[in-house]
Structure 1
Amino acid sequence: MPNHIRTENVLKEFGEIKLVGFRVLCEGDAYQKEIPKAAKELEERVNEIRYLVDTRQIGAFKVETQAAEEDGYWIGVPVSRFNDIPDGMVALTIPSHKYASFMHNGPKYDIGNSYQILHQWIAEHGLTRATNNWSLEFYQMEEISSEELRVELCDAVI
C-alpha cells in the first residue's frame, strides 16, 4: 500500500476560521510552483501577523467559485481576529461547515490521487461534495515546501 494512503476517513465539523496570509491567483499548472513560494513567504513573515491562534498553515480554495474574488488559493495562518493586516497580505473568513477528511502523506505530485480516494469515500458514504464551499488543506509549516508533504485534505460536504 502506498505511504500516502490512510484507511480511516473521517467527518469533521469546523467552526468559523479566520485566516491571514496570501492569495495565489494564477493559471492551472502554475499553482504547483506558486503555492510553495507563498507558503515560504508566509513562514518568513508569520511574526508580522497579530492575534495568531496557531502557526500551522491552512490552504483554502473553492472548486466552483461564484465570484472572481473567490477564485484562487489562499495560504494563511489562523487568527482570533483581524487587525493590522500586514502589507501585501489578505484576510479570509471561512464559515462553519462539515468536511470529509483524508490524510495525504507522500509526494506533492500524488496529491490528486489522495483527492480521488477522498471523493470516492464521500460518494460511498452517501455524501455530496459542496464544491461551492471552501475546501481546506492543513499543513505542517516545515513540510509544505518539501517534495514530500503531510497534509490533511478537507473537502466540504452536505
Structure 2
Amino acid sequence: MGIQVIEREEIKVVGISWNGTYSQLSTIPSLFTKLKERLEEVCHQSNEPVLIAPFHSRETEVTYYVTKPVEKIDDIPDGMVGFTIPRKNYVYTVHKGNLEDVENTYHQMFAWMDDYGYERDHYALSMEIFKEEHQQQNISGDLHFEIYVPVKSYKK
C-alpha cells in the first residue's frame, strides 16, 4: 500500500448526509444508491466521474456525506446539502479489498502518520473518493477507492 502526503484544491459538492453511531455503519452503502437515484436533481455537476464521500468521525458517532462535485453551489435539492471542502493537505492511499479490511487500511495510514510525524486535523473532513471506473467492482464487494485523511502539521 502506497501512502503519501498530497495537497487537494478546494472542491464544491452537493449530496446527501447521514449521521449515526459506529454500530450503524452498515447503513452507508445504501446512501450511494440513494444519491444515484437522485443524481439528475443535482445542478452544475462537474465532469469528474467520481462520487466524493467526506466525513467527520468523532468518538461516538460519524457524519458521512455522499456527494457529487459541482461547478457551483445553488439550487440545492430538498433533503440534500451543498458545501465547499477547502484546499488542504492530506495523507492519501488507495484501499483495495473487501469491506472488512477498510478499518485495517485506516490503521495502517494512522501508523504511517505517527512514523512520519504527521498530525491529523480532527476539525477537517476526511474523504473517500469513488471513481466511476471502479463502480462494478465496488458493487461486487471488491472495493477500490481513494482515502484522504486531513493533516494540520508536521510534528518532527
- Give me the TM-score of the superposition, normalised by structure 1: 0.84
* Structure 2 Cα separation of the partners of residues 39 and 114 of structure 1: 21
1:61 to 47, 55, 64: 55
* Structure 2 Cα separation of the partners of residues 83 and 10 of structure 1: 34
The share of aligned pairs that are identical, in percent, is 29
Contact 1:57–1:139 (Cα < 8 Å) also in 2: yes
| Matched letter for residue 79 of structure 2 | G
Deviations 1:115-138 (A, max 9, x none): 011111111111111122110111
Once the two structures are superposed, the pairs formed by residues 17-96 of structure 1 within 5 Å of their partners are 17-32=11-26, 34-53=27-46, 54-64=48-58, 72-96=63-87
* Structure 1 Cα separation of the partners of residues 9 and 101 of structure 2: 29
* Structure 1 Cα separation of the partners of residues 124 and 97 of structure 2: 26
* Greater fraction of residues in strand: 2
Residue in 2 aligned with 1:109? Answer: 100
Unaligned runs of 5+ in 2: none
CA RMSD of aligned residues (A): 1.9
Unaligned runs of 5+ in 1: 1-5, 66-70
* Structure 2 Cα separation of the partners of residues 92 and 145 of structure 1: 27
Q: How many residues align?
A: 147
* Structure 2 Cα separation of the partners of residues 60 and 80 of structure 1: 17
* Structure 2 Cα separation of the partners of residues 48 and 19 of structure 1: 13
* Structure 2 Cα separation of the partners of residues 90 and 130 of structure 1: 23
- The Cα shift of 1:63 comes to 2.8
* Structure 2 Cα separation of the partners of residues 139 and 20 of structure 1: 15
1:123 to 114, 118, 125: 114
* Structure 1 Cα separation of the partners of residues 140 and 123 of structure 2: 30
| Matched letter for residue 19 of structure 1 | V
Q: Secondary structure at the match of 2:34?
A: helix
Q: Which runs of 4+ in 1 moved over 4 A?
A: none
